[in-house]
Amino acid sequence: GRMIDPLVPNAMRAYATRRAEAWVLERLNGEDGLGAIFPAMVNALEALAVLGYASSDPRRLAAKRALEKLLVVNASSAYCQPCVSPVWDSALASLALQETGGAAALAASVRALDWLQPLQLPDDPGDWRVRRPRLAGGGWAFQFSNSHYPDLDDTAVVAWSMHQASNSAHYSHNVQCALDWLVGMQSRNGGFASFDVDNTHYYLNEIPFADHGALLDPPTSDVTARVVTVLARVGRPQDQAALGRAIAFLRAEQEADGSWFGRWGVNHLYGTGAALPALEACGLPQDHPAYRSAVGWLDSVQQSSGAFGEDVRSYAEPGWRGRGAPTASQTAWALLGYVAAGQSERLSTRRAADYLSRIQRPDGDWDEQHFTGTGFPLDFMIRYHLYRLTFPLLALGRLRERLNA
């Protein structure tokens, strides 16, 4: 802090500043911005100004335009998006359309996958290579362009959708490269993080300038669940050891109440709605206690309307776990959990499905004003505009499939 500033030699400060400046310049990412996400982008613009870059400098202009592209301005309101999410949205929509079925839906799913295919990052530089310098690339990033930061969550969902596409052979090479990269990014504890490997030095979150107390990227249940799902569905023999370690991590992360924590969605409904389908995909017997415990928790938080909701305060106050205003996306996550746990014909499952059917608008959409996505818990929440569509479609389609089986 400021108290020790006078103790730092000027030469050391200048050297550190040059190193940091070079790091930022390498990752500016044109008009898509540093990390393609608001906090890094605005800090980059401020840093360039502080370092004396002229307002007309092309790099400073590009950094400013990157921020301007996040603005949404209309006649009655204006706001700044934290980022854009076309890869994530397209992959989830593709999965939902596959579950929905029908010629038009399947054709739209294929068009989305064809758009995603060339966005895979096989040879690009990335910060993940610090821990895995000899691992070949194969991931996808969250945004239109963010080549330094492919993430495991997007990669798992894109590969999953490509694997079960009607023309899956067309994407076979993409899927194989993606799975090789995912397995290579497994942390020592068996779990999978979003961007990195073994990034678990928790003491760093205690330093005074720790950004939201979230300097790290530890393995999480929700990302691990998605990786488990795609590894199990593809079923390559060479992935079985990694899959076993990931399943053990996922089972160990189940809370005493039967739920799972959700790092990237609010919150225990999100984590549980990801973990249960993963356990089902890997063949865990449906009489396993992990299912019974999770179903018991879901039953305990289902609302009288059949809906589910969870307030963002659950990240700070355990009493809010699974409790809050009902939403379409969170009800869908619970429904996905019920179906995966072999509960397709239970009354609680029917009540959740009936709720989603009852609140659907005549145009086919659902209303959802609450923020059910998470950037940094409590500090940086996200409202994904397609969650209210993709997850109910995914859940209802999967329930229909099981009931018809």
Q: What is the mean pLDDT of each run of 10 residues along the chain (405 residues)?
A: 70 91 95 94 96 96 96 94 96 97 96 98 94 97 96 99 96 98 98 97 83 85 99 98 98 98 98 99 96 98 99 97 98 99 98 99 97 92 96 98 94
Residue 209: the pLDDT is 75
- Please state, in angstroms and as integers, the Cα–Cα distance from residue 280 to each residue in 101, 264, 287, following that order: 21, 21, 11
Phi first, then psi: give them for residue 374, nearest 5 degrees.
Answer: -130, 130
Beta carbons within 10 angstroms of residue 380's beta carbon: 17
Q: Is 222 a catalytic site residue?
A: no
Alpha helices (H) in 164-305, listed in sequence order: 172-184, 221-234, 240-252, 268-281, 289-301
pTM attached to this predicted model: 0.94
Report which DSSP code applies to 361: -
CATH number, span 86-404? 1.50.10.20
Helix, strand, coil proportions of the chain in percent (round to 5)? 55, 5, 40
Instruction: For the chain, give every domain's residue range.
Output: 5-80, 86-404
The active-site residue, picked from 153, 154, 222, 239, is 153
pLDDT of res. 380: 87
What SS3 state is found at 80?
strand
Token representation of residue 255:
């809370």
Give the Å distances, CA to CA, from 163 to 46, 160, 244, 287: 43, 5, 21, 28
Note the Cα 233 to chain centre separation in Å: 19
Predicted local distance difference test score (pLDDT) of residue 333: 99
What residue has token string 């959802």?
Answer: 368
Predicted local confidence at residue 2, as pLDDT: 62
